[in-house]
Structure 1
């Protein structure tokens, strides 16, 4: 369904994109717009002094973010630290000095530098495009600092409310008071934005890409559904009562489900967590789940000035594996490239980084990076009792799968696998998976490449809807190939955490689902209320649809009333 236009009336139903499950009702607390430089700002009389003050403002922002990170949980801590690194970037500081020298005022120079870097980040795509909101928040805070104004952000409030903003930067999302924040609604953002990731990790219902969100007056009561993306402005009392009852029933039902993932007739479907670091691992290790389906190792590399040593990596991986004694941990090797450039692995600029030498292609160009990582993973596996499995990102051909598997096994790691996120690999899955022990569908990138739509382009959010029948066709082809090869195929993309879509994926033939830990109970409940045969019927209904909305509605109509009543 298309988003409601910004000219829609104040009251009524609006449609956004649900990114964190659950529902909420409460008054709106609006986040103020970012601080902007004054119009016609006076030129700095002392350029050197102005440059020093501007750089000092960035350093103040970095220190503030680092202080916040010390009080945040694992996922938020990593995000805040990464954002602080951007504020300390000397290239950004030099850009401000350049604009000061061109006759601009301090705040204007900061703004121009931020615009310049935002354009570069957007051009790079991928990881850096996802950081544009963070970059602009840094700029707004630095501008406020040089102007002597209060830092932008969520205003103080004491009544449980729903936060509404243009977008939320990690510094805001990561430090929200969960006892007061009932939900989050943003006009911008995306399915893989920091708002989405952190909200899901924190268990806060959230909707992004809601047109006209920032026009809803402060104090207006609204309800939101983080599963469907529906937001109702000034809902009637009966609708509010119905939503509250459904929320209470859902909480009670989720509290009753536990243990390994199983369909109603006992078909095993492993339920796993997506993690990004040691702190995430320690938190996930204490949860009722069967292991890790995606351990992103980029954080080990992205913050390093030099290639991390064998010893440094071994210690990090040991910390990640330790909480999962006897359980699986699926590790994705370094997924970097021009879209996530590393100082020690720069292959030069590329016209289209998303389609360039990234993931396994970077490892093939610089095999010593992969070799050290595999040695460290093997050493850490020997030190712990985790069932370590290692997969490569961006695999497209049989030859690439074979090249990777040979190196994984040569380092004493018996379970190599591949990410299926390139349509070519999905379509040739029977041959690609014959070279390895398992595959994992990265549905975020798979949707991007299948639909020829940049995953960071908000205006294309419908094309990137994981319910797109065309994407489901590609997943079905991969699952059929995995069956022919006799190899397990999981999902570690966003699709896995949607209870209804999880049933479709299981019906298509996947054997494991990996997601944010806050979504596992909902998926476990969905599986326990459906047989495998029922899942297969739901998959057929989704594949027969002509649109993502049609696919979802067809599955919702055919799912068990027991589950639908709780969604």
Structure 2
């Protein structure tokens, strides 16, 4: 029996299943024999211990994991949760039961909000389990250690566990739930773990079952035959050889350059990205400077961080996205005070920045000052641009602030359809395939229940990308890809065939993409793109591209 899911990356693994242990049982609801003050003190100490442990794990893992675990630690320090806990212990609950009930209520609120907030429910569950374990003096829930390499199968996996997986023991990761942009998927991609999420059929797997995890083909092969095992092993060895190949600039087989850039969330990841072969940065997310702040950071504070990033990439291209916040990523100093029933369609990205223009002006000033101090090739772009007028507004403001190269992100279908009118008003475009897919298919990219619709192989998405690529070629304007679609080795070739001039991705994906590009020349890439565009569904598009690629090997 084969099981379908959503593969993360293009790896393949062979091994035996070890299932994640079941969570701790629900604490018994019984009256406390201690005073409310004593129970509150126990809860406060346990919360502090869990927050400290999460931060320790984050510091140990570094990179994206540190950011994710810092966000999770904040769930253990949420003042609203502490107030809820206080009320429950005051009513006679034990600390264990109060923690369980408070976090369960918080979880329900997140699920009701949907989208990005609903995806954080797993993080809340994990913090609750860790605090209860701390109170009971038991080991925190975690990854089993059977004493041999294995494939971990879990309902879902907490960020703290994904971030600190022993990659010498865990051959691959399979989750029954989750989605392609859950924290599990983000960290698996960042750490180059062979992984598959939203694999509902994996619930029948038992400890000891031998399986193949084929992330490239979104497939789990259960009870594999001898021939299937031999083929999988050959592919695994070939991929390992590609990953060990010398670092060279991205290019097609005929020498057409396709720079391979990195998506980064902080300057701390620069060294690892360069080591992985990144030729620059195609998407630098600046949100890390803002998300934990009660007020917007000063120009000087921002300038220091941007300078650190640009110095790490002296002589190389660095594309910075100005603050992408609002709606599902609320900030206190951007809060308009209006409730949004559908935040994905609300005041976010460039819309939120226009409503608080001084924040945008300060950020542009800080970037221009950092650029003047370094030798990197700085490009700056605005998120969620939907109209020609928004493109004109941002480009004009950026140039006025001293930014030499200013562009826009294409994440909304209207921007793709108007690319031939938007690109004349700005210096470049960068396509964010994650959001473009979400808005094209009307399917929340952070919701596991519609994960099957979250495929950039969808012909409608590819057609929109082709519109932007065609406009870029006609006008001589660069068109980059900075969504995770660029990390798919075969799709990367299709994107180049559609007109992409650069590809930006998680650094762990660069080696696979570089090897894939070298198999095709420009004419073949264009033909591959035409084959993918002619299909009627994502699966047909992917299958047709695979068959075409196999025929010209």
The TM-score range, normalised by the shorter chain, is over 0.9
| Alignment check: 8 A CA contact 1:44 1:104 kept | no
Give the distance between the partners of 2:259 and 2:443, measured in 1 at CA: 30
1:73-108 per-residue CA deviation (whole Å, 9 max, x = no partner) reads 322122212211222111121222334456654334
Task: Report the counterpart of residue 534 of structure 1 in structure 2.
Answer: 524
TM-score after normalising by structure 2: 0.95
Greater Cα shift, 40-49 or 16-25: 40-49
For residue 414 of structure 1, the aligned residue among 404, 409, 415 is 404
2:377 is aligned to: 387
Q: Is the 8 A contact 1:30 1:214 kept in 2?
A: no
**Matches for 1:310-325 after TM superposition, within 5 Å:** 310-325=299-314
Q: Which runs of 5 or more structure 1 residues have no equivalent in the other structure?
A: 1-11
Partner of 2:79: 90
Give the drift of 1:329: 0.7
What is the rounded CA distance, in whole Å, between the counterparts of 1:346 and 1:494 in structure 2? Answer: 29
Q: Which of 479, 487, 507 is equivalent to 1:517?
A: 507
Tell me how many residue pairs correspond in the alignment: 552
- How many Å apart are 1:485 and its aligned residue? 3.4
Q: C-alpha deviations, 1:161-190, integer Å up to 9, x for none?
A: 111111111100111111111111011111
CA distance in 1, matches of 2:268, 2:25: 36
The alpha-carbon deviation at position 126 of structure 1 amounts to 5.2
Decide whether aligned partners of structure 1 residues 239 and 562 sit closer, same or farther in structure 2, where only a CA change above 3 A counts. Answer: farther
Query: What does 1:431-442 align with in structure 2 at a 5 Å threshold?
Result: 431-442=421-432
2:470 to 475, 480, 487: 480
Residues 116 and 447, structure 2, Cα contact 8 Å, conserved in 1: no
1:127 deviates by 4.4
**1:154 corresponds to:** 143
Distance 1:395 1:170 in 2: 31
Alignment of 1:341-380 (within 5 A): 341-348=330-337, 349-380=339-370
Q: Map 1:165-184 onto structure 2 (within 5 A).
A: 165-184=154-173
Change (3 A) 1:339 1:558: same
Compute the displacement of 1:327 (Å): 0.6
Does structure 1 residue 223 correspond to structure 2 residue 212? Answer: yes
C-alpha distance after superposition, 1:385-408 (max 9, x if no partner): 111111111111111111111111
Please list, as runs of the form range in 1=range in 2, the aligned pairs for 1:58-457 lying within 5 A after superposition: 58-101=47-90, 104-125=93-114, 127-256=116-245, 258-348=247-337, 349-457=339-447
Is the 2:285–2:321 contact (alpha carbons within 8 Å) kept by the matching residues of 1?
Answer: yes
1:174/1:543 CA distance change after superposition, 3 Å: same
Deviates more, 1:257-266 or 1:467-476: 257-266
- What is the rounded CA distance, in whole Å, between the counterparts of 1:121 and 1:505 in structure 2? 36
Q: 1:547 aligns with which of 516, 537, 540?
A: 537
Partner secondary structure for residue 378 of structure 2 = strand
Q: Secondary structure at the match of 2:22?
A: coil
| Cα deviation, residue 487, structure 1 | 1.4
Q: Kindly indicate whether residue 473 of structure 2 is the aligned counterpart of residue 469 of structure 1.
A: no
RMSD: 1.9
- Tell me, in whole angstroms, the C-alpha distance in 2 between the residues paired with 1:285 and 1:321: 13
Task: Report Cα offsets for 1:415-460 as digits up to 9, x if no partner.
Answer: 1111100111111111112211111111111111111111122121
Q: Is the 8 A contact 1:33 1:166 kept in 2?
A: no
CA distance in 2, matches of 1:94, 1:444: 37
Q: Distance in 1 between matches of 2:328 and 2:105?
A: 17
Structure 2 CA distance, aligned partners of 1:488 and 1:146? 56
Write the distance in 1 (CA, Å) between the matches of 2:89 and 2:217.
47
Cα deviation digits, residues 95-136 of structure 1 (max 9, x gap): 223344566543343233223323443455554344322222
> C-alpha deviations, 1:35-58, integer Å up to 9, x for none?
242354446763343233223322
Moved over 6 A (4+): none
Alpha-carbon distance change, 44 to 533 in structure 1, aligned in 2, over 3 angstroms: farther
Counterpart in the other structure of 2:480: 490
Q: 1:264 to 1:59 in 2, by over 3 A?
A: same
Unaligned runs of 5+ in 2: none
CA–CA separation in structure 2 for the residues paired with 1:459 and 1:65: 28
Choose which of 43, 55, 68 in structure 1 pairs with 2:44. Answer: 55
Give the TM-score normalised by structure 1. 0.93
State how far apart, in whole Å, the 2-side matches of 1:552 and 1:41 are. 56
Closer/same/farther in 2, CA of residues 128 and 314 from structure 1, 3 Å limit: farther
State the partner residue of 1:504. 494
SS of structure 2 residue aligned to 1:111: helix
Contact 1:166 1:213 in 2 (8 A): no
Find the aligned partners of 1:433 and 1:240 in 2 and give their Cα distance.
Answer: 49
Cα separation, 1, equivalents of 2:18 and 2:377: 46
Deviation, structure 1 residue 355: 0.9
Aligned: 1:558 with 2:548: yes
Tell me by how many angstroms 1:144 deviates. Answer: 1.9
Mapped to 2, the partners of 1:453 and 1:104 lie a distance apart of: 41
Q: Distance in 1 between matches of 2:450 and 2:545?
A: 23
Deviation at 1:483, TM superposition (A): 3.0
- Counterpart CA distance in 1 for 2:33 and 2:280 is 57
Cα distance in 2, alignment partners of residues 40 and 119 from structure 1: 19
- 2:306 touches 2:367 (CA, 8 Å); kept in 1? yes
SS at match of 2:41: helix
Q: 8 Å contact 1:121–1:132 — kept in the other structure?
A: yes
